[in-house]
Copies of this chain bind each other. A is one copy, B any other.
């Protein structure tokens, strides 16, 4: 993907003739108001946000009637570059928080969005980020109901950092949690691993492959709803973002006090992604995903869950990749293609900084 050309973007209304962010845009006065009215409101408009209060009041009584619970999550997004094949910081900031909510079984309801913008950043770039956030929010069925904008001096940021917080409604009757995990449960991956991290990395390293590597950034709550519809007894859901599947699997094993056994040959990785990992010396299990989930499912429900996943656009390549075992508690072990085994350790840090 070529780098976006901001000269093509234009603000709906001139922003007092500033083509770039100045410190005053973060001052809370008329310039801040300009930025909100000409960049954020046109993209995010809805009756709750448009009131522009310091806080927004939501009537959740009907949503929570009958015993529903409220899920809340937050993440800061500092991905570099801001635009990459298959996505941008804008859709990541929506999908990442939507997915954190979805992993608790929640239907996403509302988002907040707070921007820390570096002095000198182009207003056109900000308009495009807001547009991509709005598109992702619409696709995920959530509204951005309140927000904030701060500006920091040149050299104290990196274009834009976005922090979203999300609210979701968890239906009654779910038993998601590590306590429920049992010997013999099946570990399912919803699709190919490592696409997001390698998309970012291929841009940063300027790698060219025959096929483009694109981020898998996507909202997963619809997939989760389809899975829970056929099996409300799903044990646990995790989205393997920073640190990749290796981190999520180790967290699950540790919290559950059980072992996890993975089949190397079952791990789905696109050939071009596998090639890129090979070139860069990266383990696909440690690379970030932004539109995939791992599920721990009772063995007798695994086929039904897999069938439901494969019927959903974000689960078409779903596959069982391993199982929960009583042996080697709190350890993740891989059965390799040549019949050996090796331990998959908890990564110390992320191989690729600022991946999300």
> Counting chain B CB atoms within 10 Å of each CB, which of A23, A64, A165, A347 scores highest?
A165
Q: Is A78 an interface residue (CB 8 A)?
A: yes
Question: How many copies of the polypeptide does the oligomer hold?
Answer: 2
Query: CB distance B28 to A242 under 8 Å?
Result: yes
Query: CB distance A55 to B71 under 8 Å?
Result: yes
Interface bits A7-45 vs B (CB < 8 Å: 1, else 0): 000000000000000111111111111000000000000
Interface bits A102-116 vs B (CB < 8 Å: 1, else 0): 011010001011111
Q: Is A163 an interface residue (CB 8 A)?
A: yes
> Cβ of A69: which chain B residues have Cβ within 8 Å of it?
57-61
Q: Which of A141-149, A271-279, A300-308, A321-329 is near enough to bind chain B?
A: A141-149
**Whose C-beta in chain B lies nearest to the C-beta of A55?**
B73
The residue from B76, B116, B350 contacting A28, defined by CB atoms under 8 A apart: B350
Query: CB distance B114 to A243 under 8 Å?
Result: no
Q: Which of A151-159, A183-191, A335-343 is near enough to bind chain B?
A: A151-159
The count of chain A contact residues (Cβ–Cβ below 8 Å) is: 80
Q: Give complex CA distance A349, B29 in Å.
A: 5
Interface bits A63-106 vs B (CB < 8 Å: 1, else 0): 01001111111111110000000000000000000011101101
Query: CB distance B54 to A247 under 8 Å?
Result: no
The 8 sampled A-B contact pairs (Cβ below 8 Å) are: A29-B346, A56-B72, A74-B146, A74-B165, A75-B114, A76-B150, A152-B354, A156-B158
Q: Is A175 an interface residue (CB 8 A)?
A: no
> Cβ of A290: which chain B residues have Cβ within 8 Å of it?
none
Q: Is A311 an interface residue (CB 8 A)?
A: no
Q: Is A53 an interface residue (CB 8 A)?
A: yes
**Whose C-beta in chain B lies nearest to the C-beta of A97?**
B55
Query: CB distance B76 to A148 under 8 Å?
Result: yes
> Cβ of A3: which chain B residues have Cβ within 8 Å of it?
none
> Cβ of A147: which chain B residues have Cβ within 8 Å of it?
74
**Whose C-beta in chain B lies nearest to the C-beta of A53?**
B104
Q: Give complex CA distance A150, B77 in Å.
A: 8
Query: CB distance A168 to B239 under 8 Å?
Result: no
> Cβ of A31: which chain B residues have Cβ within 8 Å of it?
348-349
**Whose C-beta in chain B lies nearest to the C-beta of A16?**
B348
Query: CB distance A73 to B349 under 8 Å?
Result: no
